Structure formats: structure tokens, C-alpha cells
């Protein structure tokens, strides 16, 4: 039996991600963070509940919308912010920005913006874990759009054929940039249904219900850890802000304001608050703790040096020039 969802801890994890992203969104218009930034505000339940039950040795991979996964897995906040500010002390030495987060000490191996690009890498890490007889599992997060890439299907097939310890986690927020699911995938088929094509157990749950995400992920992780091969999970959720950037985007017209409002009313953090978790006094204490942590982290990140221009070519493939 897996342990019951630790709701106060999950609340704290979601609130921390939310407050960090809000702070990034507030400062982004200053123009000092020069990288594109994809916010996960509204989607925090999935990173909190999935990463909240991983060991440090388990390896997490993500895509362009990766702050939540990095933070929930224990990625260093100052190094993440320094990366957004292009600093030498950034987690990718300031060369990558928001879409190239990494913290190997925390088991957050990679995020990259090529859709589905980290899915085969997660599968490769799982293959290597089996060769090394390590008990660590690979967990890869991706959006609904990534399931339309060949790399997703090749990875599902190979992982299933080799019974590799991989948890595939799809955060289905109903849009790929501005294209709704209805225009891109067959009506009536869930993403979780694709597991069947690969003889892979799959499950689907409300991605804004952190307890449901916890339970669903716990069952799947038990299978994956038990050597039964990979699982596919689909969580329905919703991004509140524009695809890329810190602003709301209802005015663009590709999604109705009523739809956005409906999902805002299903805020995963507010949902727990309504259930009395964690309680007013605890929440006030968390707010104070996170506010201090975030302010100090921004100050440390901004005080860090820029890379030396003479190193511009370092870490770049030399090519054939
Ligand atoms: C191979 C590839 N094709 C297209 C893009 C451009 N692109 C960036 S994000 C995105 C949509 C991603 O949608 P989804 O996977 O559902 O994730 P979400 O942004 O909704 O979290 C696209 C098409 C890309 N980065 N990589």
C-alpha cells in the first residue's frame, strides 16, 4: 500500500511553484530575463504530486514548460533564476534559459524545447538504469502536443518492448500553442488510450485534483518500480497564461474567456484551501517563508556575473567550419 497523499506538503509544493512563477512573471517585463518563458501557473498539481513521491535518484525529464517539474524535484532555485537571467552561475551556465533547466544533484536531468525531444532520452536513461542494476526510474513530463511527435511513439514502443522503468506523464492542457485538441487528434480518443496500442498500462485523472494525481501516480510508480515495465498517465489540466510569456491571453480569441474562468475556478491550490488544507496559520507561515526565500533568490541570481564574452564559443559544437 502506498501512503496517503500528504496534502499539507503538496499544498506547500504547489504554492511555492505558484509564488516563484508569479515573481518571475512580475519581473519579466523589466526585460532582463532575455529567454522565452513558459509558465505552468494553474498546472501545479501534477509536478507536486508526481515529483513528491520520487526519490532523489529517480530521474526527471521535461520540456519547455518545466519550472514546476524542476522545482518539485528539488532543483536549486537560485541556479534556475540565474539561468533565466543569463548568469554564469545559472544551472546551464546562462547559455540555455528557462527551457534548458538541469540539476543533476536533484535528479532533474534535462528539459529541452524540442517537442518530445526528452522522451527518448528518458527511455535511454531507464535502459541504462537496468544495465547498471539501479532501481531508479525515469519520469518524463510532456504536453498533449508532444504526443503527436514520432519520438513519443517510438519511445513508448521501445520502452514497452523492453519493459523499461519509465513513467510517461502527459499534462493535457487542451492546447498546443493556439490549436485545440479537437483540431489535432481523433474525437473520442483519450491520450491515455494510446497506451493500449503499446500494451502499456495507462490511466487518466483530473490533473487539478492533487490527491487524484497522487493516487494515480502512486499506482503507476508501484508497477514501474516493481519491474512491470512502463506506464502512461494523462492528467487533464489547463494553463492560465499565454502559451509563452507572463500575460493572460483571452483576448486572442482562440479560447473563450468563460473557459479560462471555468478552469481558474478549478485552481488546484484553492481546492485544497477549501478543504481546510493546510489551515490559515500554516498558510500564512508558508507565505512568509516563500516570500523571503524568493526575494533572496532573486537578489542572489541578479548579483551573479554574466558569462565572460570570451567564452561565448565554449560548449558550442565546433561543427565543420
Ligand atoms: C519539434 C517541434 N515542433 C514544434 C515546436 C514549436 N512548439 C513549441 S511549444 C509547442 C506546443 C506544445 O504543446 P504541448 O505539447 O501540448 O505543451 P504545452 O505548451 O501545452 O504545455 C509547439 C508546437 C517545437 N518546439 N518543437
- HEC string of the chain equals CCCCCCHHHHHHHHHHHHHHHHHHHHHHHHCCCCCCCCCCCCCCHHHHHHHCCCCCCCEEEECCCCHHHHHHCCCCHHHHHHHHCCCCCCCCCCCCCCCCCCEHHHCEEEECCCCCCHHHHHHHHHHHHHHCCCCCCEEEEEECHHHHCHHHHHHHHHHHHCCCCEEEEEEECCEECCEEHHHCCCCCCCCCCHHHHCCCCEEEEECCCHHHHHHHHHHHHHHHHCCCCCEEEEEECCCCCCCCCCCCCHHHCCCCHHHHHHHHCCCHHHHHHHCCCCCHHHHHHHHHHHHHHHHHHHHHHHHCCCCCHHHCCCCCCCCCC
**Ligand 1 pocket by C-beta < 6 Å: which residues?**
64-65, 113-115, 142-146, 173, 175-177, 243
Among 147, 153, 177, name the best residue to mutate to test ligand 1's pocket (greatest count of ligand atoms within 8 A of Cβ). 177
Query: In the chain, which stretches have pLDDT less than 50?
Result: none
Whether 281 is in a domain gets the answer: yes
pLDDT value, residue 318: 74
For ligand 1, atom 4, the nearest C-alpha belongs to 115
pLDDT in tens, 164-183: 999 999 999 999 999 999 99
The answer to the question of residue 312 being in a domain is: no
Contact by Cβ (8 Å): 209, 10 = no
- What is the extent of the structural domain holding 19? 7-302
36 Cα–ligand 1 center, Å: 13
Q: How many domains does the chain have?
A: 1
**39 lies in some domain:** yes
- Are 197 and 186 a contacting pair, CB within 8 Å? no
pLDDT score, position 195: 98
For ligand 1, what atom is nearest to the CA of residue 116? Answer: 1
- Which of 64, 141, 168, 254 maximizes ligand 1 atoms within 8 Å of its Cβ, making it the mutation to test the pocket? 64
249/14 Cα distance (integer angstroms): 23
**Pairing state of beta strands 175-176 and 179-180?**
antiparallel
pLDDT attached to residue 217? 98
pTM over 0.85: yes
Residue 217 to residues 21, 57, 153, 264: CA-CA distances in angstroms? 24, 17, 21, 24
Question: Is residue 201, in this structure, part of any structural domain at all?
Answer: yes
CA of 176 to the centre of ligand 1 (A): 6
Name which residue sits closest to atom 20 of ligand 1, judged by CA: 176
Pocket-testing residue among 38, 67, 145, 185, ligand 1, by greatest number of atoms within 8 A of Cβ = 145
Separation between Cα atoms, residue 127 and residue 309, nearest integer Å? 39
Please check whether residue 315 lies inside any domain of the structure: no
pLDDT for 1: 52
* 136 occurs within a structural domain: yes
Buried b (16+ CB within 10 A) or exposed e, 261-288: eebeeebbbebbbeeebbeeeebeebee
Which residues on adjacent β-strands are paired with residue 209?
none
Q: Which atom of ligand 1 is nearest to the CA of 176?
A: 13
Residue 19's CATH number: 3.40.50.970
Calculate how far, in angstroms, residue 245's C-alpha sits from the geometric centre of ligand 1: 14
Asked whether residue 321 is domain-assigned, the answer is no
| Minimum CA distance residue for ligand 1 atom 18 | 143
Query: What does the pLDDT read at residue 312?
Result: 82
Is 133 a member of any domain?
A: yes
Amino acid at each position: 500500500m502506498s501512503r496517503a497523499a500528504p496534502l499539507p506538503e503538496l499544498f506547500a509544493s504547489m504554492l511555492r511553484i505558484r509564488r516563484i512563477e508569479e515573481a518571475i512573471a512580475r519581473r519579466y517585463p523589466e526585460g532582463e530575463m532575455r529567454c522565452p518563458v513558459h509558465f505552468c501557473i494553474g498546472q501545479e498539481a501534477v509536478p507536486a504530486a508526481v515529483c513528491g513521491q520520487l526519490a532523489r535518484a529517480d530521474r526527471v525529464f521535461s520540456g519547455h514548460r518545466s519550472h514546476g517539474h524542476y522545482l518539485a524535484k528539488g532543483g536549486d532555485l537560485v541556479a534556475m533564476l540565474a539561468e533565466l537571467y543569463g548568469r554564469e552561475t545559472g544551472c546551464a551556465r546562462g547559455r540555455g534559459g528557462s527551457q534548458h533547466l538541469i540539476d543533476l544533484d536533484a535528479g532533474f536531468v534535462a528539459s529541452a524545447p524540442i517537442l518530445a525531444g526528452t522522451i527518448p532520452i528518458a527511455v535511454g536513461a531507464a535502459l541504462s538504469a537496468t544495465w547498471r542494476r539501479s532501481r531508479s526510474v525515469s519520469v518524463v513530463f510532456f504536453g498533449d502536443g508532444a504526443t503527436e511527435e514520432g519520438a513519443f511513439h517510438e519511445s513508448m514502443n521501445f520502452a514497452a518492448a523492453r519493459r523499461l522503468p519509465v513513467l510517461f506523464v502527459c499534462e493535457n492542457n487542451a492546447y498546443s500553442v493556439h490549436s485545440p485538441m479537437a483540431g489535432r487528434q481523433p474525437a473520442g480518443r483519450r491520450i491515455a488510450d494510446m497506451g493500449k496500442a503499446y500494451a502499456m498500462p495507462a490511466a487518466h485523472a483530473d490533473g487539478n485534483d492533487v490527491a487524484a494525481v497522487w493516487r494515480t501516480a502512486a499506482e503507476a510508480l508501484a508497477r514501474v518500480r516493481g519491474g512491470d515495465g512502463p506506464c502512461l498517465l494523462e492528467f487533464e489540466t489547463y494553463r492560465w497564461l499565454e502559451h509563452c510569456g507572463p500575460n493572460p491571453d483571452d483576448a486572442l480569441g482562440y479560447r473563450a474567456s468563460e473557459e479560462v474562468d471555468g478552469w481558474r475556478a478549478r485552481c488546484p491550490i484553492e481546492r485544497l484551501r477549501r478543504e481546510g488544507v493546510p489551515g490559515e496559520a500554516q498558510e500564512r507561515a508558508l507565505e512568509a517563508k516563500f516570500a523571503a526565500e524568493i526575494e533572496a533568490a532573486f537578489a542572489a541570481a541578479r548579483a551573479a556575473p554574466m558569462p565572460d564574452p570570451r567564452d561565448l564559443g565554449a560548449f558550442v559544437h565546433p561543427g565543420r567550419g
